[in-house]
Amino acid sequence: MLEEATSVSAIVFDLDGTLYTNAELLAEIERTAELLVARGRGVSPQAARRTMNRARRRIADLEGREPTLSRVCMELGIELRDLHRTFEEMVRPEQYLVYDPVLQALLEGLREQCPLYLYTNNNLPLTQKILALLGIENLFERLFTIEYAWRPKPDPEVLEMVLGEIGGPPDEVLFVGDRDQVDLEPARDRGLPTLLVSETADLLQVHKLLGLLP
């Protein structure tokens, strides 16, 4: 949760589900992963989907949290690099995403206050494409994509590396994301202020925190 009077010297954003929400794009990513699992096991995409759902439930029971898609695919023997190569080939964000002037204005306002960073389980080519489609490709100081460590969130060690690159006290780095256990829990554990969002309008909360709004 946001604390009053927090001094923020940098903001780290998740990408998917945080800076945009799009059910169709999400479904295309999911379908692509299913195709890869299907190909690897020589089964139909429907059978692959059932296998993935079972794996998802199994990991959720075991770890007490809903696993990410990366985690499910890794559990089923898919190499993370293969998964992302396939995403890069098959996922077409340009079919679903359009320029978002409100998001652009919100982030431009924030960037006047402090540097903005992106930390996402998505890969660099798709991330760059998505940012360009939304009209926010030049607003980030640095993009931490899956290529940074080839270890998906949640991962406290990689978070630590990211914080090291950003510099400054962690309690001044605001982490904004749409999944509590994936994005915010590790950040919170490390003493970062966090903000859970479910739509672009929620990003106005960041402006409130920084005193940019009444």
Stretch that binds Mg ion, among 12-20, 100-108, 158-166, 189-197 (CB under 5 A): 12-20
28 part of the interface to Mg ion, by CB under 5 A: no
Other C-beta atoms closer than 10 Å to the C-beta of 92 total 13
20 part of the interface to Mg ion, by CB under 5 A: no
34 part of the interface to Mg ion, by CB under 5 A: no
16 part of the interface to Mg ion, by CB under 5 A: yes
Site for Mg ion in 150-179 (CB under 5 A): 178
Q: In angstroms, what is the minimal distance from the CB of 171 to Mg ion?
A: 23
Q: In angstroms, what is the minimal distance from the CB of 16 to Mg ion?
A: 4
| Residue sitting closest to Mg ion (CB) | 17
Give the separation between CA 23 and CA 147, rounded to whole angstroms: 25
17 part of the interface to Mg ion, by CB under 5 A: yes
Q: In angstroms, what is the minimal distance from the CB of 69 to Mg ion?
A: 11
Residue ranges in contact with Mg ion by CB under 5 A: 14, 16-17, 178
